[in-house]
Amino acid sequence: MTILHLALAADWEAAVRAGEYRVSTLGRTLEQEGFIHASADRAQLDGVARNFYAAVAAPLVVLTIDEALLDGEVRLEVPPGAQEAFPHIYGPVPVHAVTSVEPFSL
Q: Domain coordinates of the chain in residue numbers?
A: 2-104
CATH number, domain 2-104, options 3.20.170.20, 3.30.70.20, 3.40.50.1460, 2.40.128.120: 3.20.170.20
pLDDT value at 16 more than 90: yes
pLDDT in tens, 68-84: 999 999 999 998 888 89
pLDDT in tens, 46-76: 999 999 999 999 999 999 999 999 999 999 9
Pairing of strands 60-66, 98-104: antiparallel
pLDDT cut 90: percent of the chain above it:
92
**Buried b / exposed e across 29-47, counting CB within 10 Å, b at 16+?**
ebeeeebbbbbbeeebbee
State mean pLDDT over 2-8. Answer: 97
For position 106, what pLDDT does the model report?
81
pLDDT value at 32 more than 90: yes
